[in-house]
Each structure stands twice: as C-alpha cells, then as structure tokens.
Amino acid sequence: MEEDIILSVGSNDVEDIKKNEIEMSKETTPKALKEILQFKIVYWGPGESGKTTNYFRLREKFNGIILNKGVSIETTDGRTLWQDSIRISFFLNLGDVKFNIIAQIVTCTGQERFLQTREYVLDGADGVVFVGDSKLQKMEQNKRSFRELVSFTKKTKIPYVIQLNKRDLESAVTIEEFKKQLGLPFSDTYKDGTAVVYPVIALSGENVKECFEDLIIQVIFNYFKNKLNLI
Ligand SMILES: Nc1nc2c(ncn2[C@@H]2O[C@H](COP(=O)(O)OP(=O)(O)OP(=O)(O)O)[C@@H](O)[C@H]2O)c(=O)[nH]1
Ligand SMILES: [Mg+2]
C-alpha cells in the first residue's frame, strides 16, 4: 500500500512524499541538505533470535558507504559476547530532498547473563529493531525481551519496529499468535502505513533491508518532531 509521508520542517522542505520515492544510495545532488544526521540503531531481542544474522545481511545488501570495517565480538559458540557494530553513511532520498545520514548499527547480546551490557548498548539509541523468534518454544523469551524494550522506549520515546524472524521454519508460530502473545494490534499496519510485524528470514536476507529502511524513516520523523518541539 502506498502511503503519503509528509515532513514539514520549515517552509520549503519536504512535502507530500510517497514512500516509494524513498531510496538509500551513495549518490547525491546539489539539493542535498547540508546537515549530517547521525543516528544509532540497535537490534534487540532474545538470545539467538537472529540479530547478528540481520546485521550481516544488512551489511551485505547495503547500498551506501561503509565507514568502518565493523566488529562482531562473539564467544566461541557464535553467541554475541559484547556487540556487533558498524557505521554506515547514506543519502536518504525523500522526493528531491536528500538527507545525509550516518548510522551506527549495533546488535546487543541476547544472553540474559549479560543483561547489563544490553542497557549500555541501548544507551543513546535513536531507534530499535526488535528481532522476535518464530520458534514456538521462544515465545516466553520473546515476551520478556519485548517487555524490557517497551519499558525502555516508554522512557526515551524512541521509535521501534518489530520483526518476526525465521519465517522459513516449518513449525513457525503464526503472525496472529505472535501478535496476541506480545499484545500487539491485530491489523497488518498502523495508521501511518508501517507494518505492525515484519516477517523476516534473516538467513536469506528476506525483508531485512525493508524493515531497516522503515525504521530509519520513523527515526527521521521523530528527529524532526523533537527538533520542532525545541523551537
Ligand atoms: N532458520 C533460520 N535460522 C536463522 C535465521 N536467522 C538466524 N538464524 C539462526 O539462528 C541462530 C542464531 O542467530 P544469531 O544471528 O547469532 O542470533 P543472535 O540474536 O545474534 O544471538 P545472540 O547474539 O546470542 O543473542 C544461528 O544459528 C542462525 O543461523 C532465519 O531466518 N531462519
Ligand atoms: Mg548476536
């Protein structure tokens, strides 16, 4: 469904933008905004839900400039010990206005014994991708991790998107059941057209980039909303 996105941040900025006009690229034009916007995006979710896999697929599919090599600090069994982190730069095209964006992308560890490091990773976050696990036996962990995130975002008022990963699994929980468990609305989308839940297969990269892009758009809206409130 095509949605109108309207950003009004002054008299001659962005108006009546269609979502399908938005793309990320390393190309720019003289119309680019001079200001560089810097954001921190965190991948959050229970242990082994696929946060690090999202991070790697995003890095591979990313069509902009990667500013540093990125790190991925793992235990020997492939669990995230500290965090994965990378800084990327891209121009976000909103109609004929381009935003110059630098995003730091980090994934937290899902391991509960390192809970305190998760709080550190969330510190200063501008947006969060919640990575839920489709495995039926992970529902309690999904709920617990989601509750933690909601209590954090209530305080900081930052946007988040919810993805349900591992949709390739035969015994995957239904999206309806997942929504019920997490107390989410039953509609497919919110009023602004963003999905309530993004079905994702991080292993193959399906919907990874789309989910990230939709969050970035919300982060930008939030940024300008806060900026206007300060004026
Ligand atoms: N079937 C399937 N497996 C997946 C998918 N995404 C990730 N996995 C697998 O799930 C396991 C955990 O993936 P990670 O990306 O390491 O998960 P994580 O959330 O970073 O885990 P922690 O850092 O330990 O919290 C790995 O074996 C992945 O291959 C998916 O879309 N489908
Ligand atoms: Mg990880």
Predicted TM-score (pTM) of the model is: 0.83
Taking the CA of residue 200 as reference, the ligand 1 atom at the shortest distance is: 31
146-152: average pLDDT: 91
Q: Is 109 in the pocket of ligand 1 (CB under 6 A)?
A: yes
How far does residue 64's CA lie from ligand 1's centre (Å)? 25
Q: Is 93 in the pocket of ligand 1 (CB under 6 A)?
A: no
pLDDT tens-place string over residues 4-47: 333 333 333 333 444 555 566 666 655 555 568 899 999 999 99
Q: Is 70 in the pocket of ligand 1 (CB under 6 A)?
A: no
Give the DSSP letter of residue 173: P
Query: Domains (ranges, CATH) in the chain?
Result: 29-230 (3.40.50.300)
Query: What's at 117, amino acid-wise?
Result: T
Mutation choice for ligand 1 from 44, 48, 206, CB with most ligand atoms inside 8 A? 48
Q: Which two tokens stand for residue 18?
A: 């269609």
Q: How many Å apart are CA 127 and CA 148, to the nearest integer? A: 15
Residue-level pLDDT at 71:
66
The Cα-based distances of 32 to 10, 26, 97, 164 in angstroms read 16, 12, 6, 35
Residue-level pLDDT at 154:
87
Mutation choice for ligand 1 from 52, 60, 121, CB with most ligand atoms inside 8 A? 52
The pLDDT > 90 percentage for the chain reads 42
Q: What angle do CA 202, 203, 208 make, to 5 degrees?
A: 25
Q: Is 80 in the pocket of ligand 1 (CB under 6 A)?
A: yes
Taking the CA of residue 202 as reference, the ligand 1 atom at the shortest distance is: 31
